C-alpha cells in the first residue's frame, strides 16, 4: 500500500515499480462471469484517443470487451455549448444490450448529466437524481437506485470530480450530504475522482464518513502507462465488492486517455436483495422515453456561482493550470533516472 502522505512523484514511481505484478490488471476474457454483477467506470475522454483521433466506435468496442452489467461513463457529452452526446447509443444497445438510465435535460441531444452516463443491461430503475456539484468547473453526478435482474438492489453514484483539490473536497462533502439525506441502501461510487493521494492529504477523505477507509487504488491513467489511480469504484459496504481491476487491453490503451476499471458485486449478499417496491419502477425499455417514464423530480442543484465573464476566464485559467501541473509532474517523473523501466 502506498504511504499515507505520499507525494505525486513518489506515487508515480511506486506505481511503476508495482506495475508488472499488479493484481488489478485484467485483460478481455479474464473476468470469470460467475463472480456476480460486473460494474465498471470509464472516462471516455470525449471519444478522443491517445492518438488524437475522435473515434466513438473504439469506445463502443472497449465497452463490448468489458461486457458490464452496469457502467458509468464520464465525458460522454461535449463539455461546452450544446453538450451533444458523442456515442451512438442505439448501436451500443444493439451490440451490448446496454441502455442509458433516463435523465431529464433541457438538451435532448445530451446523453447524460454533465457528461455522466449510467448504462445498464437488465433491471428496473427506481429513482434518478441529477446533482450539480460545487466548484469552478461544470461538474455533476447521477444518483440512480436500480434493481438489477440478478437480484442486486443498488444505488449507483456516478460522478466526475474536478481538477482542483478544493473543488474535489467540496464535491466529496456534497456526495456525503446527499447520501445522508436519502434512505440507506447499498451504494457504489463510480467515476473519475481525479485524486491520486491517500490518507489525510486526499481530497476524498470526506468520503470516509460513508465509505470507510479507501481501498487500495488501481492506477488507470494515463492509458498507455497507468501511473495514477484517478478512477475509483468504492462501496459503502465493502464486503459486497470484489477487488477492483483495470481493463488493460491493446484497444483500451488507445481509445481514451483513461483505462476502464471494473469490479464484481456479489448478488448473493442478503443486504442486496430487492425489497418490495413502494413506488413506480422504470423498466429498461422505458429509457427510450425518459420524460414519460420517470416520475418527474427536480434535480438537486447547488447555488449557482456568479457568472461574470472575468470570473469565468479566471476559473478556466485555474483549471488549465491544475491540469498542466499534473501533466508536468508525470513528465518530470518519467525523466527521473531512478524511475524504473516499464
Q: Where are the alpha helices (DSSP H) in 181-256?
A: 208-211, 252-255
- What residues make up the domain containing 148? 24-306
**Across all residues in the chain, what is the average pLDDT?**
76
CA distance 142 to 312: 25
Q: Is the pLDDT of residue 73 over 90?
A: yes
Query: Which long-range contacts link 181-184 to residues 24+ away (Cβ below 8 Å)?
Result: 182/143, 182/155
CA distance 154 to 174: 20
In the chain, count of helices (H) and strands (E)?
Answer: 8, 13
Q: Which residues pair with 74 in a beta bridge?
A: 43
- Kindly state whether residue 199 falls inside one of the protein's structural domains: yes
Question: Which range has the top average pLDDT, 29-38, 107-116, 135-144?
Answer: 135-144
pLDDT of residue 270: 47
Nearest Cα to 189, choosing from 13, 8, 41, 299? 41
All residues at 6 or more sequence positions from 240 whose CB lies less than 8 Å from its CB, including other chains: 186, 265, 266, 269, 271, 272
**Tens of pLDDT, residues 182-213:** 778 899 999 999 998 877 778 888 898 888 87
Q: Which residues pair with 262 in a beta bridge?
A: 40, 245
- Kindly state whether residue 163 falls inside one of the protein's structural domains: yes
Range from 18-27, 47-56, 151-160, 201-210 carrying the lowest mean pLDDT? 18-27
User: Where in the chain does DSSP place strands (E)?
Assistant: 25-26, 37-43, 70-74, 99-100, 117-120, 123-133, 139-148, 153-160, 187-192, 231-235, 245-247, 261-265, 282-283
- 321 phi/psi in degrees, rounded to 5: -60, -40
CA distance 196 to 12: 9
- Kindly state whether residue 104 falls inside one of the protein's structural domains: yes
Say which residue, 38 or 334, is predicted with more confidence. 38
- Kindly state whether residue 340 falls inside one of the protein's structural domains: no
- Kindly state whether residue 334 falls inside one of the protein's structural domains: no
What is the pTM assigned to this prediction?
0.75
CA distance 202 to 168: 9
Q: Cis omega (within 30 of 0) on the bond before 29? A: no
Say which residue, 20 or 96, is predicted with more confidence. 96
- Kindly state whether residue 5 falls inside one of the protein's structural domains: no
CATH code for the domain of 301: 3.60.10.10
Q: Which residues pair with 113 in a beta bridge?
A: 116
Q: Is 222:257 a contact under the CB 8 Å cutoff? A: yes
Question: Which residue shows C-alpha cell 465525458?
Answer: 75
Given pLDDT bands bounded at 50, 70 and 90, which one contains residue 113?
Answer: confident
Tally of domains in the chain:
1
Question: Which range has the top average pLDDT, 48-62, 111-125, 309-323, 328-342?
Answer: 48-62
Q: What is the helix (H) or strand (E) element at residue 291, kind and residue range?
A: helix 290-293
- Kindly state whether residue 2 falls inside one of the protein's structural domains: no
- Kindly state whether residue 10 falls inside one of the protein's structural domains: no
Given pLDDT bands bounded at 50, 70 and 90, which one contains residue 255?
Answer: very high
All residues at 6 or more sequence positions from 335 whose CB lies less than 8 Å from its CB, including other chains: none
Question: Which residue shows C-alpha cell 463539455?
Answer: 79
Amino acid at each position: 500500500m502506498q504511504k499515507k502522505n505520499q507525494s505525486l512523484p513518489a506515487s508515480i514511481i511506486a506505481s511503476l515499480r508495482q506495475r508488472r505484478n499488479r493484481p488489478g490488471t485484467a485483460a478481455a476474457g479474464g473476468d470469470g462471469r460467475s463472480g456476480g454483477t460486473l460494474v465498471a467506470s470509464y472516462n471516455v475522454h470525449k471519444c478522443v484517443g491517445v492518438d488524437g483521433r475522435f473515434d466513438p466506435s473504439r469506445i463502443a468496442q472497449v465497452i463490448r470487451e468489458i461486457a458490464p452489467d452496469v457502467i458509468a461513463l464520464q465525458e460522454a457529452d461535449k463539455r461546452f455549448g450544446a453538450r451533444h452526446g458523442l456515442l451512438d447509443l442505439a448501436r451500443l444497445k444493439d451490440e451490448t444490450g446496454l441502455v442509458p438510465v433516463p435523465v431529464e435535460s433541457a438538451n435532448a441531444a445530451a446523453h447524460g448529466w454533465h457528461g455522466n452516463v449510467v448504462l445498464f443491461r437488465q433491471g428496473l430503475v427506481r429513482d434518478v437524481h441529477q446533482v450539480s456539484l460545487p466548484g469552478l468547473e461544470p461538474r455533476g453526478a447521477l444518483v440512480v437506485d436500480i434493481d438489477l435482474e440478478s437480484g442486486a438492489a443498488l444505488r449507483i453514484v456516478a460522478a466526475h470530480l474536478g481538477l482542483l483539490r478544493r473543488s474535489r473536497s467540496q464535491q466529496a462533502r456534497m456526495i456525503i450530504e446527499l447520501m445522508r439525506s436519502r434512505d440507506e441502501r447499498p451504494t457504489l461510487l463510480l467515476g473519475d475522482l481525479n485524486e491520486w493521494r491517500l490518507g489525510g492529504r486526499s481530497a476524498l477523505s470526506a468520503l470516509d464518513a460513508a465509505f470507510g477507509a479507501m481501498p487500495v487504488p488501481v492506477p488507470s491513467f494515463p492509458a498507455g502507462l497507468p501511473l495514477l489511480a484517478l478512477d475509483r469504484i468504492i462501496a459503502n459496504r465493502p464486503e459486497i465488492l470484489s477487488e477492483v481491476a483495470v481493463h488493460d487491453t491493446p484497444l483500451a490503451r488507445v481509445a481514451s486517455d483513461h483505462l476502464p476499471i471494473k469490479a464484481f458485486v456479489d448478488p448473493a449478499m442478503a443486504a442486496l436483495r430487492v425489497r418490495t417496491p413502494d413506488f413506480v419502477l422504470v423498466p429498461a425499455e422505458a429509457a427510450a422515453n425518459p420524460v414519460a417514464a420517470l416520475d418527474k423530480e427536480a434535480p438537486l442543484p447547488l447555488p449557482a456561482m456568479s457568472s461574470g465573464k472575468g470570473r469565468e476566464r479566471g476559473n478556466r485559467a485555474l483549471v488549465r493550470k491544475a491540469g498542466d501541473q499534473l501533466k508536468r509532474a508525470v513528465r518530470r517523473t518519467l525523466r527521473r533516472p531512478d524511475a524504473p523501466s516499464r
